[in-house]
Amino acid sequence: MKKLILGIAVLFLIVYGIFEFIERLDAVENNESGVKYDQQLNQDQPDQPGQPDEPKKPEMLTITPDQAFKGNLLLINRKYPVPDNAELPEIVNLFKRKDLLKGFGILDNSIELPLDMVDKFSNMVQAAKKDGVTHFLISSGYRDNEKQQELYETLEKGVANPPGHSEHNLGLSMDIGSSLGMMKDAPEGKWLEQNAWKYGFILRFPEDKKDITGVMYEPWHFRYVGLPHSAIMQKHDFVLEQYLDYLKEKKEITETIDGQTYSIAYYRVSDQNIEVPLHQKYELSGDNVDGVIMTSWDTELKDAPVDGTKTGTKEGDAQ
């Protein structure tokens, strides 16, 4: 009798355990099904109006320290020399490339310029031609160290910089003359002084800035810095030294020129990479000291017109 009761009890426990297991299994399956259903429901539901999207992180651009020694805004003078291992643009001899002489002449067969500088100068000369100014002459362009040394030794002390300390050594500047006379009096000189900034060029050594540049007045020496920098310098009556100091102080400025809005930001670099916000359209230039200038804009830049031809007297051969 005791064995029968014990057997019934064991059987009852086994049956109870089976039912308990089945119920728990069903509960787990139902719960997982509910979770999947909720997830699917959340995916199918559109975003509720008024709920703000998570802000997207801006793309970043890495600027390396060597960028401080590249570009159109490099400051080159007796204090800041041409950077070591500087990369030269494509240089052409204009006497051998007479097809490039559009609206201007050259003094002799030694004149060399970066190819892209020839295009920029031609654009500006074409604009001057529409104003009846047509007697432009290039008396000096790119100079290697050998040519610079020769000038440094032959010209009056303080007139020419030593080799490696001239903008001409990187093809950033040109000496422009006129077949009608000296640039300070010629129509070409007067036109450039008033209009060169519109095409990215600046009169590098004005008469009233000698105390800043350390260089005497050179009405023939024009430097390419590009827009919008030339326009801002014209607006504030800056030479390059003043402009770079201004950018370092302000850190970031915005200017609108002919309907085009530009943002110009200055970043200090030293011995390590830095990360800056990446803009869709931008240009970088170093200052040849310890900074990088990022220029960005929001629409396509407009090109200046092209074309032109002429020759005359030599002026320049200094810095």
> Residue 172: is its pLDDT beyond 80?
yes
pLDDT at 118: 96
Between 291 and 163, name the one with better pLDDT.
291
Do 102 and 185 have their domain in common?
yes
Do 85 and 173 have their domain in common?
yes
Average pLDDT (125-132) is 97
Token representation of residue 184: 């300070």
Q: How confident is the model at residue 20 (pLDDT cuts 50, 70, 90)?
A: low
Could you tell me the residue range of the domain that residue 184 belongs to? Answer: 60-297
Contact of 262 with 295, CB cutoff 8 Å: yes
Q: How confident is the model at residue 100 (pLDDT cuts 50, 70, 90)?
A: very high
Instruction: Tally the C-alpha atoms within 13 A of residue 84's C-alpha that lie toward its C-beta.
Output: 1
Do 65 and 12 have their domain in common?
no
Please, which residues bridge with residue 253 across strands? 264
> Residue 239: is its pLDDT beyond 90?
yes
Q: State pLDDT tens for residues 22-67.
A: 555 454 444 444 444 444 444 445 555 556 666 667 788 899 999 9
pLDDT at 8: 55
- C-alpha Rg value of the chain to the nearest Å: 35
**pTM attached to this predicted model:** 0.76
Query: If DSSP codes are grouped into helix, strand and coil, which group holds residue 278?
Result: coil
CATH code of the domain in which 266 resides: 3.30.1380.10
Instruction: Determine, yes or no, domain membership for 47.
Output: no
Instruction: Determine, yes or no, domain membership for 286.
Output: yes
Indicate the number of domains in the chain: 2
Token representation of residue 62: 């890495």
Do 286 and 154 have their domain in common?
yes
Given the residues 167, 218, 249, 315, select the one marked as catalytic: 218
On average, the pLDDT of the chain sits at 82
Q: State pLDDT tens for residues 187-233.
A: 999 999 999 999 999 999 999 999 999 999 999 999 999 999 999 99
Do 32 and 66 have their domain in common?
no
Contact of 122 with 307, CB cutoff 8 Å: yes
Would you call 218 a catalytic residue per the annotation?
Answer: yes
